[in-house]
Structure 1
Amino acid sequence: MFSREKYHFYYVPALPEFLSGEKQIEDFTIHNEKWYEKNGMDLHLEEEITAIEAAQAQAVTRRGEKFSYDKLLLACGGNSFIPPIPGSKSEGVFALRTIADAEAIRERAKQSHKVVVIGGGLLGLEAGNGLRKRGLEVSVVEFSPRLLPRQTDVAAAAILQKQMEEMGFHFYLGAKTREIVREKDGLGVFLEGGEKLPAGMALISAGVRPEITLAKSLNLPGDKGVMVDDTMETPIKGIYAAGDLVEHRGRVYGIWPASMEQGRVAGANMAGQAVKYQGTLPSNTLKVAGIGLVAAGEIDAEGKMESVVAKDDTKKTYRKFVLQDRFLIGVI
């Protein structure tokens, strides 16, 4: 097993809690070195595979070492998507995807009072909350007219926004970042309308894109990621793929539960079993202090389907059940 990171396998969704200081690395490390040894795994940390010689069934490391295989699994994950915003590569501008990213963000936060989060999705809000807990003033810029457009409808987003504003968040919705400029005392984040948001740092949270560098070198097909069949095998016999880089039946999931299930199916088939991946029900959870949000299945954001809504303004609760032919197909 090869990884370009120096850390053992860890729970990526816990990174915002690492930002806040609520968790340390060992708290969200899933398996330690003894676990790998016990299960007969030869782990190579900080040793990236840079080439696959499929005809010879060999994987090549950055140092040029070659390792033969009978079956190969690509589990390269994804990379933070950075929109083409002028100044996005400036000092003080970050994305959160790895422990190394989080460590750099925490270090910058020590000398910052304000942060602008570009992207009002799940990770952006959770990361912003982690920095808020470190004492920073958080402003969120979101292109959509509401927060979490993929997980909420208009009513749910309004409730969420109000609760987070009460926590101290500032929101700029329906807004687009024009450029990020380095200034004497930090950064200036300029919006399309000309408004300037001063900050000590900026965090870009605009989604994840599959890491398909190795796949491209193998000429593996796929419009969005690495195309696999129901056994998680790619068109090259003996090479499998699982996780954020995978495109299955035209869909890239990009969520933890799907990656785990795909990994289990791929491993079973690589070991000689006959297991099929049936897909994963899309579900997301937002973990921000005092707020619990779960969205699963078809949320019917446009309100075009049959639904049952239970709303309590006093308790600040909102529940929505989306139905199709009397069957439950989604919830908020």
Structure 2
Amino acid sequence: MKTKSYLIVGNGVAGTTAAESIRQQDPKGSITILSEEDLPFYYRIRLNEFIAGDVTEEKLIAKKKKWYEEQRITLRINTRITGLDALNKRLTSESGEKLPFDRLLLATGSHSFLPPISGIDQQGVFSLRHIKDARAILAQAGKSAEVILIGGGLLGLEAGNALRKLGKKVTVVEFFPRLLPRQLDSKGGARLQKLMEKMGFSFRLSAMTKTITGSNGQADGIVLEGGETVRGQMVIVSAGVRPNLELAKAGELICDKGVIVNDRLETSGNGIYAAGDVAEHRGVVSGIWPAAMQQGKVAGANIAGGEAQYNGTTMSNILKVAGIDVAAAGNIDAEGRFESQVISSDTVYKKLVIENNRAIGCIMVGDTKNFNSISRYISEQRDIATLKNSLL
């Protein structure tokens, strides 16, 4: 029986976990990971620490050369894949090389969404997604005293904190009336904002950026819809991400928000699977590390002939935002429609969302003790009637 050839496009957490999973099932098959980046698999969530100077580039790398050798996985970096012939099962690289496969995993991830703001294409405007973005931000930081962050999402706030540690004055402009709108309700957002203001951040909430101003093609500030101007020699845009669908579309796979996959993470193409930020499962594109990891595991097992099912991942995040512990899981009930238990002080805000004596969501700011148990109760749909007054 001939050995199978497995190709994986993308070396983030989904692609790398899948490769590991394939190798466990199939000790003999040939596994190649193709990545357009210039580093092996690294911790993207630690890019802010790299910007702040807390970790070196070497320390970001999660899987060293030795790991790939031990797993007998070929990693090809600086390799951009531009074509997919799903019918004849082969990929084409930017340089024109043809790469045949028996099984393929698309783990192409996502890219930063850049809203159509006038002046967004000037020098000094960045998004943070990859190591090359972090390097560029670091190079510009040396020439900038004031930084503007468009978007109060997690990656943006973390990048802002890294630059604050380098002595920069940081202003955050957020379209929503609160910070981390996906993870926090208005009280949780307000508590986080107060703690960050004490650290020196300033905020413009419910604000829209009309123009990024500049001279000689170099950004020097922004003008808000209301007419206010904010100065800054550097603008970081953190307005969400969009799946990288070019390759899936080139292969005529069925896509909507992401590449459509079933519970086995198979796409509409024979022998072609998708996992991570690029995959849309039951109408959801998760975009979170735990989901990418779980999907990589399931996809890898199935690619190598296993029978694994993916049933979704509870949206759960444990974060450190500017050194402040923040955690959120399930339905955060920002509209206040459900029963809830709340604990609140100057430094801490905690909320447990309850429906029919079951925990359905949770928010914690400033103290995340007990969060893992509560997350488990949410996933397991356990009855917490006797516990609900003591869980927080």
Q: What TM-score does the superposition give when structure 2 sets the normalisation length? A: 0.83
Query: 2:366 aligned with 1:331, yes or no?
Result: no
What SS does the aligned partner of 2:73 have? coil
1:252-297 Cα distance to aligned partner (Å, 9 max, x none): 1001110011000000000111000010010123313441110111
Q: Contact 1:94–1:202 at 8 Å: present in 2 too? A: yes
Corresponding residue number in structure 1 for 2:309: 276
CA displacement at 1:104 relative to structure 2: 0.2
Q: How big is the shift at 1:151?
A: 0.8
Q: Secondary structure of 1:83's match?
A: coil
Between 218-227 and 176-185, report the one with greater CA deviation: 176-185
Question: Aligned to 2:353, which of 316, 322, 328?
Answer: 322
Does the CA-based 8 Å contact 2:264-2:299 persist in structure 1? yes
Question: Deviation per CA, 1:74-111, whole angstroms, max 9, x where unpaired?
Answer: 00000000000011110000000000000000000001
1:247 equivalent to 2:280? Answer: yes
The aligned residue for residue 246 of structure 2 is 213
1:287 alignment partner, one of 320, 327, 331: 320
Q: Find the aligned partners of 1:34 and 1:225 in 2 and give their Cα distance.
A: 33
What residue is the counterpart of 1:11 in the other structure? Answer: 43
Residue of structure 2 aligned with 1:2, choices 23, 27, 34: 34
- Structure 2 residue 198 is the aligned partner of structure 1 residue 166: yes
Report the equivalent of 1:88: 120
Which stretch shows the higher mean deviation, 143-152 or 283-292? 283-292
Kept in 1: contact 2:173–2:204 (CA 8 A): yes
Distance 1:247 1:255 in 2: 13
Partner of 1:136: 168
Is the Cα–Cα contact under 8 Å of residues 184 and 332 in structure 2 kept in the other structure? yes
Any conservation in 2 of the 1:94–1:101 contact (CA below 8 Å)?
A: yes
Render the CA deviation track for 1:154-184: whole Å, top value 9, x for unaligned. Answer: 1111111101000000100000000111137
CA distance in 2, matches of 1:247, 1:119: 24
* Unaligned runs of at least 5 residues, structure 1: none
Contact persistence 1:306–1:322 (CA under 8 A): yes
CA deviation after TM superposition for structure 1 residue 42, in Å: 1.3
Paired AA for residue 220 in structure 1: L
- Contact 1:186–1:198 (CA under 8 A) maintained in structure 2: no
> How far 1:50 moved relative to its partner?
0.9
Cα distance in structure 1, aligned partners of 2:255 and 2:74:
30
Counting only pairs closer than 5 Å after superposition, residues 1-332 of structure 1 correspond to structure 2 as 1-183=33-215, 186-313=219-346, 316-332=347-363
RMSD: 1.1
Offset from partner CA, 1:166-215 (integer Å, 9 cap, x none): 00001000000001111378512110011111111000000110000001
**What letter corresponds to residue 170 of structure 1 in structure 2?**
S
Q: C-alpha distance in 2, partners of 1:32/1:128?
A: 29
Identity of counterpart residues, as a percentage? 52
